[in-house]
Structures are given as structure tokens and as C-alpha cells.
Amino acid sequence: MTVQHTVDFGRAGFLRDPWPVYAHLRATEPVHFSEPSGCYVVTAHADVRDGLARADLAADFVLRASRLMFGRNMLDTDGEAHRTLRRLVNPFFGASAVAIHLRDVIRPVVGSVVDDLPDDGEVDFVSRVAVAVPYGVVCRLMGVPPDDAPWLYEQMRPIVRVLDYPKGELEPAHKAKQVVEEYFRTLLADRDRLPEGSIIDRLRHAGTTRSAGIGEPELLGTIMLMLVAGTETSVSAISNIMHCLLSFPDVLAEVWRDQDAIAPAVQESLRWEPPLHSVLRFAAKDLEIGGTRIGRRSPVLLSIASANRDERVFTEPERFRFGRTERGALTFGVGQHACPGMFLAEREFHTLLGVLRERFAEPEAVGGSPPGVTGHIFRRAGHIPVRLRRR
């Protein structure tokens, strides 16, 4: 395949099938400047991993889309400012906390979502399961009333579209932001509605502690960021896991036959079709990546998806290989900005598949094959119609 001068990451063909483009770039130009996107894109595993961890590729940049939407927040800060915000939420994602969440939150939410599915019929797996489970889990952990979760999902759509590429329109996103911010201001002020010990309750207490160094803008930005980060990537991951299983019937049959097959199937799905395709950073100074000079303040797009299919790390990377032994997938990132909720997310995915296989026969793709996965930053199928038959 030839790449014409520069890659346009917003083209429909690329959004449907980026993999040949990434393979060509890894082989010929692993650090590529995309004129339509106005950024450098990094595709080789070693360079992406290094870029995720190095301090001179900064997340903190005033023109970043997430900064424009949320203000200063955990995603868009570096150094001590980032560590201060991260320390507030880390206790919710350690091993002991996740064990409690698994018992008190994940299993009840998954059970409720699966109970609401028809005994025998067609459903859209994305809207009925992939959306419902992450929003149910995250809203309960944050202290949001469960009945408000569907409303919040709809309110966040314009905001999420601005964070994606190509970007959505700013005006509806700003209107949605005002609505959601006011919702959380009200929740923060209502002690009776906000469960003690929830994530928002902990952040509220930190916001009243001067030594924490955060005010209302950082508080609201962190809350909204956690809502997006804790749900959108999981919605995409759950959708992509089911897409992979339906695309590879032998793996689906193995998962439905053997509980122990769930973990390796999830692991390979997250490598093969990661929910977060790329991560944006900015050069804090003149620097070099893979032999390419990059000027200060230049945007740098680190392609997790391409790194996860690098032939220098993975044998036959374009094949979905159940039981793959190689490690090194960068799906959850590395370094100080690695996803703090990765263990919670994996428990969520494993629990969901476990409950589905206990209660239903193997799902069948309506029409014989699942719809294609598309998108760039958040990448998934918009709908996955499946037929379910309760055991």
C-alpha cells in the first residue's frame, strides 16, 4: 500500500480500516507528519511506549480539546499538579478497593443489566449492555443516583464528540457542559443525595481543604473527566470484545465452553481492537522521536492501536490469536498517565462475560456478521444487533 504524501486521520476509509496505513507507516515512516491533522503521528511500539512515559511530551496544553471542555483536570496536567489530583482517586482503584467494588457494585450492576435482557430475541448489544454496564458502575462509584445514568449518557454525547477526531461542533458541547456542570454543582451541595465515601464525596471534601490545592473548576473538571474516562473507553471496550467474539466463532465457542477462556479472550480483544486508539501529547521542548526532530509545542499523536500490532513485538500481529503469550499491549497506557481504573475495567469485562455465558446460550450476530468497527480516538461499532436465547 502507498500513503499519499500525508495521512488524513479523518478520512472515512481510514476510520473504517486504519490497519494497512499503520503497517505501512511502521515500515517506512514510523514518525509521520500529517498535514490535514497538523500533528506528528507515532506508530512504532518502542516509540509509543517511550512517548507515553517521557516527561518532555506533555499532557498540559491550553489548546487541548479536553482542557477547553473541562479546564485543568487530571488528564491534562503533569508533575505535582497531576499527582495531587490522582492521589484523590487512587484509593478507589487499588486491589482491595476493586475487590469490594466487584462485590458491591460490579456484580449487582451486571446482574441487573443482564436480567433486563429478553429471554429470546434480538437486542442491540451496544445500547442495552455496553453502555448500560459502564454507566451503571461508574455512576454508583461516583455517587450519582443510578436513575440519572441514562440522562447523563445522553447529555455527554456532544462533549464526547468534541474529544474525538474529527471533532464535533463546539456550541452544542458547551451547552451540554453547562447543563452537566450545574447538575454536579447541585449534587455537590446536596449532602443528603451524595453517598458518604463515594468518589464525588471524597473530591468534595478535598475541594474544601486548602492544602489540596484544587478549587471548584478543577473539582468539576475532574468529576466530568472521570465520567468520560470511566465510561467511554469501557463502552468501546465491551463493544469491541463482543465484536471480536462474534467475528471469531471458535473463540466465542471456547469462552462459552470454559470460564477460564474469558481472561485470554478479553486480553487479545483489547490488544487487537483497543477502545482508545490514540493519545495526544505536546512537545514541551525541541525533541527527537525515532530519529525525527519535533519542534516545541508540536502536537504528537501516539498510536496505541498501531503499537499493539507492531510485528517487532507480536507474532503475526494482524491475526486475532486466542491464548497469545506475548505481553506488551499498550491499551491502558504506561507512565504517570496510565489508566488508574484498568483493574476495575478488567473485572467489569470479565464479570459481564461470566454472567452472560451463565444465563444465555452463545449470542448470534443478526445478519451473520457484526457491523464494522469505526472511529479514531474512541473506536467501536455504533450498533451490534445480536440474538440471545436464555438457557
Location of C-alpha cell 478479553:
266
The answer to whether residue 3 sits within a structural domain is: no
* Structural domains counted in the chain: 1
Residue 1 lies in a domain: no
62 is a domain residue: yes
Please tell me the number of Cα atoms within 13 Å of 53 on its side-chain side. Answer: 9
Grid coordinates representing 331? 491499551
129 burial type by CB count under 10 A (0-12 exposed, 13-18 middle, 19+ buried) = buried
Q: Which single residue is written with the C-alpha cell 437486542? A: 123
The two beta strands, 278-283 and 57-58, are antiparallel
Q: Residue 254's domain is classified under what CATH number? A: 1.10.630.10
Residue 91 belongs to some domain of the structure: yes
> Hey, which bits of the chain come out as E strands?
31-34, 39-42, 57-58, 120-124, 278-283, 287-289, 292-294, 299-303, 364-365, 385-389
Rg (CA), the chain: 21
Q: What is the pTM of this model?
A: 0.92
Question: Is residue 122 situated within a structural domain?
Answer: yes
Residue 306 covered by a domain = yes
Residue 46 lies in a domain: yes
Paired with 386 in beta bridges are: 123, 365
Range of the domain at 333: 12-389
Is the sign of the CA dihedral 59, 164, 87, 52 positive or negative? negative
pLDDT at residue 2, as a whole number = 46
Report residues of the chain scoring pLDDT below 70. 1-5, 62-63, 73, 166, 207-214
For residue 241, which of 116, 113, 119, 125 has the smallest C-alpha distance? 125
Per-residue confidence (pLDDT) for residue 1, from 0 to 100: 46
Closest by CA to 278, choosing from 345, 373, 376, 375, is 376
Q: Residue 310 burial (CB < 10 Å; 0-12/13-18/19+)?
A: buried
Q: What is residue 205's predicted lDDT score, i.e. its pLDDT?
A: 77
Question: Which of 162, 169, 154, 375 has its CA nearest to residue 273?
Answer: 375
Residue 6 lies in a domain: no
What is residue 208's predicted lDDT score, i.e. its pLDDT? 57
123-177 residue pLDDT tens: 999 999 999 999 999 999 999 998 999 999 999 999 988 888 767 788 899 899 9
pLDDT reported for residue 218: 77
**What are the grid coordinates assigned to 367, written together?**
445478519
What's residue 63's pLDDT? 67
Q: Tens digit of pLDDT for each residue in 271-318?
A: 999 999 999 999 999 999 999 999 999 999 999 999 999 999 999 999
CA neighbor of 148 nearest in space, from 194, 114, 191, 106? 194
